[in-house]
Amino acid sequence: MKVHNFSAGPSILPDFTVEKTAEAIKNFAGTGLSVMEVSHRSKEFVAVMDEAIALFKELLNIPEGYSVLFVGGGASTQFCMIPYNLMGKKAAYLNTGAWANKAQKEANLFGEVVEVASSKEAVYNYIPKGYEIPADADYFHITTNNTIYGTEIKEDMDINVPLVADMSSDIFSRPVDVSKYALIYGGAQKNLAPAGVTFVIVKDEILGKVDRQIPTMLDYRTHIKGESMFNTPPVVPVFAALQTLKWIKEQGGVAAMQKMNEEKAAVLYNEIDRNPMFKGTVVNEEDRSLMNICFIMADEYKELEKEFFTFATERGMSGIKGHRSVGGFRASTYNALPKASVQALVDCMKEFEALHVK
Residue 114, classed as helix, strand or coil, is strand
Distance CA 349, CA 308 (A): 8
H or E segment at 50?
Answer: helix 43-59
152, containing H or E segment: strand 151-152
Closest-CA residue to 278 (of 294, 267, 261): 294
Classify the phi-psi angles of 172: left when phi > 0, otherwise alpha if psi is within -120 to 50, otherwise beta.
Answer: left
Residue 313, annotated as binding a ligand: no
Query: How far apart (Å, rounded) are the C-alpha atoms in residues 302 and 319?
Result: 20
Would the annotation count 99 as a binding residue? Answer: yes
> Active site includes 190?
yes
In a 13 Å sphere around the CA of 164, the CA atoms on its Cβ side amount to: 28
Which is the catalytic residue, given 20, 138, 170, 190? 190
Residue 75 is labelled as binding a ligand: yes
A 10 A CB-CB count for 146 gives: 28
Give the separation between CA 233 and CA 71, rounded to whole angstroms: 6
247 annotated binding-site participant: no
Q: Is there a binding annotation on residue 299?
A: no
CB atoms closer than 10 angstroms to residue 211: 6
3-class DSSP assignment, residue 198: strand
What is the full DSSP assignment across 29-47? TTSSS-TTTS-TTSHHHHH
166 has catalytic annotation: yes
**Is-contact 288 268, C-beta < 8 A?**
no
- Of the candidates 20, 99, 203, 287, the residue annotated as catalytic is 99
71 membership: H or E segment, kind and range: strand 66-71
The residue annotated as part of the active site, out of 20, 138, 166, 287, is: 166
Give residue 7's region: left, alpha or beta (phi > 0; psi -120 to 50).
beta
Cβ(304)–Cβ(297) under 8 Å? yes
Q: Please give the annotated binding residues for pyridoxal 5'-phosphate, written as ranges.
A: 75-76, 99, 147, 166, 189, 231-232
Q: Which active-site residues does the annotation give?
A: 99, 166, 190
Which amino acids are annotated as binding site, given as ranges?
41, 75-76, 99, 147, 166, 189, 231-232
Question: Residues forming the annotated binding site for L-glutamate?
Answer: 41
